[in-house]
C-alpha cells in the first residue's frame, strides 16, 4: 500500500496545519439538471465528504489544514486527492490497492428536493486504521476535527477516531466533533454508543438539534437551548446548526451526573452558561448539501482567529449561507472577500435577497 503525504507530493502552504480532519471523501456523480436518474442521460463528476468539505472551507479562510483518509488505487481516488490538494489542503492519504474509492450519487428528482445515494460499503476509507495517522501531525495541530460518520463505517474506522482523540487529549490539542448523523450507516442508538467513547474528550461539539439529541436523548429534539445546556459540560462549547434560522452556541457550565459518560444517557445538570444566538441570512438557495460543513469551518476559523462566540456564529452563518448559493458540496465555500461582501464590508453583495 502506498501513501500520499506531505512528504510525497502533498501541498503544504505556510506553517504546519492548525487543523487536522480525518474521514472519508467519496467520488461524486451528480446530475446537472432536475429529474430522475432513471431518465437523465448524463452526470458530472466531483467529490464530497464532510471532513474534506470542512478542510477546504478552512483553507479558503486562510487556515492551514490537513486531511487524513484512504482512497482506492483507481482513477476516482486520484481525482479525490488531486482536487483536495489543489485547494491547498495538506493531504495524508493511503492508496489502498484492494478496496475501491467510495462513491456517492447526488440527484435532484424535483426542483425542491435532493437525493443522495451512497456506495461506500467495503470502501478504502472503511479500512482506516490508527496506523494511517501520521506521527506528530495531531500533536502539532491546534484542533483535531472528526465527524460521527467515520465511526459508523467500520470497527477499525471507529478505533481510528478513538486513537486520534487519545493522541489529541495527550497533546493538549482541542477536539472538534460534528455529529453529522447518516441514518443509512447505522442507528441513532449505535452512534450514541460509539460517540460516548470519546465524548468526554470533545471540546467543541456541533450538530443540528436532531443530531445533538442523539447524545442527550432526555431532551426534546425541538429544544435546541435545552440540548445546548445539557451537553455543555466542563467548559465544552456546543454549537447548534439551525439551518435557515442561523445558529446558537454555549460555552459549558453544566455539571455531569456520574461523570462525562452519563451524557450519552442525557443525565446532566445544567448550571448556567450564556446561550448566544445569531440569525441566518436570506439567500437564493441552489444546493444545501455541504452548508453545515461550511458553517463549522466558519466557526472554527473564527475561534482560531481569537473571535468571541457571537463573531464565530456570525461568520459560521455567513459561510453556511454562501455555500447554499452554489451547486456542489464544497465549491461554494467562501473566501474572506466573499464574507466581507455579505457582511457589509465589500462593495458588492453576492447574495440575492
DSSP code, position 74: S
Alpha helices in the chain (DSSP H): 50-60, 75-86, 155-171, 188-195, 209-215, 224-231, 291-304, 309-323, 336-343
Distance CA 10, CA 337 (A): 26
What 3-state DSSP class applies to 92?
strand
What spatial distance separates the first Cα and last Cα of the chain, rounded to whole Å? 51
| H or E segment and range at residue 314 | helix 309-323
DSSP code, position 151: G
Do residues 348 and 327 touch, judged by C-beta distance below 8 A?
A: no
Percent helix, strand, coil in the chain, to 5, is: 35, 25, 40
Distance CA 89, CA 28 (A): 19
| H or E segment and range at residue 333 | none
Please name the residue that has the C-alpha cell 486527492: 81
DSSP code, position 83: H
Check 293, 305, 308, 329 and give the catalytic one: 293
Active site residue 142: no
Do residues 298 and 239 touch, judged by C-beta distance below 8 A?
A: no
For residue 253, what are the contacts with CB-CB under 8 A and spacing of at least 6?
A: 232, 235, 270, 271, 272, 273
* Nearest residue to 52 via CA among 29, 71, 37, 33: 71
Distance CA 59, CA 335 (A): 9
Do residues 54 and 67 touch, judged by C-beta distance below 8 A?
A: no
Catalytic positions, written as ranges: 293
Amino acid at each position: 500500500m502506498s501513501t500520499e503525504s506531505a512528504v510525497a507530493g502533498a501541498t503544504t502552504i505556510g506553517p504546519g496545519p492548525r487543523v487536522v480532519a480525518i474521514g472519508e471523501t467519496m467520488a461524486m456523480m451528480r446530475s446537472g439538471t432536475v429529474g430522475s436518474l432513471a431518465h437523465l442521460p448524463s452526470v458530472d463528476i466531483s467529490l464530497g465528504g464532510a471532513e474534506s468539505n470542512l478542510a477546504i472551507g478552512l483553507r479558503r479562510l486562510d487556515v492551514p489544514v490537513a486531511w487524513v483518509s484512504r482512497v482506492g488505487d483507481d482513477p476516482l481516488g486520484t481525482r479525490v486527492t488531486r482536487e483536495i490538494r489543489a485547494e491547498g489542503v495538506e493531504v495524508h492519504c493511503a492508496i489502498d490497492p484492494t478496496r475501491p474509492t467510495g462513491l456517492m450519487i447526488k440527484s435532484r428528482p424535483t426542483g425542491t428536493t435532493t437525493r443522495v445515494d451512497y456506495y461506500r460499503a467495503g470502501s478504502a476509507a472503511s479500512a482506516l486504521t490508527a496506523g494511517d495517522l501520521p506521527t506528530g501531525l495531531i500533536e502539532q495541530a491546534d484542533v483535531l476535527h472528526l465527524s460521527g460518520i467515520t465511526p459508523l463505517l467500520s470497527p477499525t474506522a471507529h478505533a481510528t477516531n478513538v486513537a486520534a482523540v487519545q493522541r489529541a487529549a495527550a497533546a493538549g490539542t482541542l477536539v472538534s466533533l460534528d455529529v453529522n448523523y447518516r441514518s443509512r450507516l447505522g442507528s441513532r442508538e449505535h452512534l450514541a454508543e460509539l460517540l460516548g467513547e470519546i465524548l468526554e474528550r470533545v471540546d467543541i461539539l456541533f450538530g443540528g438539534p436532531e443530531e445533538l439529541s442523539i447524545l442527550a436523548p432526555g431532551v426534546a429534539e425541538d429544544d435546541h437551548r435545552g440540548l445546548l445546556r445539557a451537553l455543555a459540560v466542563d467548559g465544552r462549547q456546543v454549537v447548534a446548526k439551525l439551518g435557515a434560522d442561523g445558529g446558537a452556541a454555549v460555552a459549558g457550565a453544566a455539571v455531569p451526573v456520574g461523570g462525562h459518560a452519563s451524557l450519552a444517557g442525557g443525565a446532566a445538570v445544567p448550571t448556567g452558561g450564556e446561550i448566544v444566538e445569531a440569525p441566518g441570512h436570506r439567500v437564493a438557495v441552489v444546493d444545501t448539501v455541504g452548508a453545515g460543513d461550511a458553517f463549522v469551518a466558519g466557526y472554527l476559523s473564527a475561534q482560531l482567529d481569537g473571535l468571541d462566540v457571537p463573531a464565530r456564529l456570525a461568520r459560521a452563518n455567513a459561510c453556511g449561507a454562501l455555500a447554499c448559493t452554489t451547486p456542489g458540496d464544497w465549491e461554494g465555500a467562501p473566501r474572506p472577500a466573499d464574507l466581507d461582501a455579505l457582511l457589509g464590508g465589500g462593495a458588492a453583495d453576492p447574495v440575492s435577497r
